[in-house]
Amino acid sequence: MTESDAMTPLWTAYEAAAATGGRATHAWNAAGVSIDSRTVKDGELFVALQGPNFDGHDFIPAALGAGASAAIAARIPETVAAGASLLMVADTMTALEALGQAARRRSTARFLAVTGSVGKTGTKEMLRLALGAHGKTYASLGNLNNQWGVPLALANMPRDCAFGVFELGMNHAGEIGPLSRQVRPTIAIITTIEPAHLEFFESVEAIADAKAEIFEGLDGDGIAILNRDNPQYQRLAKKAAEQGVGRIIAFGRHADAEARLLDCALHPAATGVTAEILGERVSYRLQMPGAHWAHNSLAVLAAAKCAGVELAAAAAALDQLQPLKGRGQRVKVKLAGGSLEIIDESYNASPAAMRAAFQVLAQATPGGGGRRLAVLGDMRELGETARLLHADLAPDLKASRVDRVFTAGPLMEWLHATLPDEMRGDHAADSQALIPHVVAAVRAGDVVLVKGSLGSRMAPIVEALRSLERPAEALPRAANGN
């Protein structure tokens, strides 16, 4: 935080009241905006949203007690102390959106948005680094990409940024359009279109149409950056043109791609890339293994160059990218006789993301006597094709030289039944029941991939493996060499 950031509040009571049409009970300043009383920070403005299973108004006292400077409310709960700092509005969700729009209007930053079936968050993080090589860059935290997350991210954007990067997500048609119109990006990236959320869509083409709603926020000067290697490229390009998008840039290995991958060197813990970005050749390294990272970095560098960032500086900045928890983070666990490596992909899953993770596992190097193990949970929201999509992972696991596959959940049971005997590990009804089987099976030298949809709750398996860490005093000492 700069000195000016510390001196200038993100929101004053006057500004927030003007933005929302509300009435402030006192004068106050806010350093940020929160919708969660459990994580609200000192000096933040708490917004009491009402959801189907909760009412944020019930948590206003807790938020104020935790240090919130004020709360946005549509009613005053009896438990709120008299004289509390509040901003009274007709509807708190509408007020949050209004705060986001006020932040968007007052900003002179260049705005970018990212969507796609997979790779959104990683691409957003690469954009944060690449654009940050040129000027102050704000990116939405985590995956704040839905109807609550996007206006919250906008409302938290500092006043003096040069760039703002936002992730837009959906699982139904009609969700991305309103989010894009809130962000109003000048550059929009669609990473790829894959069979995800098929439970809510009749086809992959319908998914492409829903993702194409991101163009609704672009104007005639906007730029759409699209995956030329994806079968839905022409459909997306047509949608962009119909929406009046001024320029379409293709990225990928395809000969017609303007951001083109020339070479990709895969290593166990990194990826070397040589590419041509809008006529300029560049070589760089990513501290992320996997061809999918190299592929999405092309879109990032094309966006950065269009945004005025010097290409070499943007590419060099990508080497700072570190794996995120649940999204490829590597963890070493010391055991007697060696160590165990965990590839934590427990946050989410789709068929395309599974296959990308298998390729990363294939590049990993087990220790002496170690194996490549995959611990997989159900992929959710795949509709009527779910069983087949799970079973179809078997050839990819075999091609990735995975030694044993442990599975959890009713859908993964279809993969379990499809695997050859020598690859088939244990299966359990859910992740919790699978934990003792995995813990008993692992040994020093193994590399273990853990992946599944968030609803499959695979993170506890990662934590169970991490808990196998032997304290230093319990490990055998190395013999002296003399």
pLDDT digits (tens, 9 = 90+) for 33-74: 999 999 999 999 999 999 888 899 999 999 999 999 999 999
Q: pLDDT digits over 325-365, tens only?
A: 898 999 999 998 899 999 999 998 999 999 999 999 999 99
Q: Inform me whether the pLDDT recorded for 275 exceeds 90.
A: yes
Write the DSSP string, 285-337: EESS-SHHHHHHHHHHHHHHHHTT--HHHHHHHGGG--PBTTBBEEEEEEETT
User: For position 474, what pLDDT does the model report?
Assistant: 47
Q: Which amino acid is at 335?
A: L
Task: Give 265's contacts (C-beta < 8 A, 6+ positions apart).
Answer: 271, 272, 273
Enumerate residues 6+ apart whose C-beta is below 8 A from 268.
289, 363, 364, 365
Length of the chain: 482
- Is residue 481 pLDDT above 70, yes or no? no
Question: How do residues 304-313 score in pLDDT, each as one tens digit?
Answer: 999 999 999 9
Per-residue model confidence (pLDDT) at position 477: 43
pTM of the model: 0.88
In sequence order, the β-bridge partners of residue 428 are: 408
Q: What is the pLDDT of residue 6?
A: 52
CA 63 to chain centre: 27
Of residues 18 and 1, the one with the higher pLDDT is 18
Say if residue 404's pLDDT is above 70. yes
* 156-170, 192-206, 309-323: least confidently modelled range: 192-206
Residue ranges and CATH numbers for the domains of the chain are 8-90 (3.40.1390.10), 107-320 (3.40.1190.10), 329-466 (3.90.190.20)
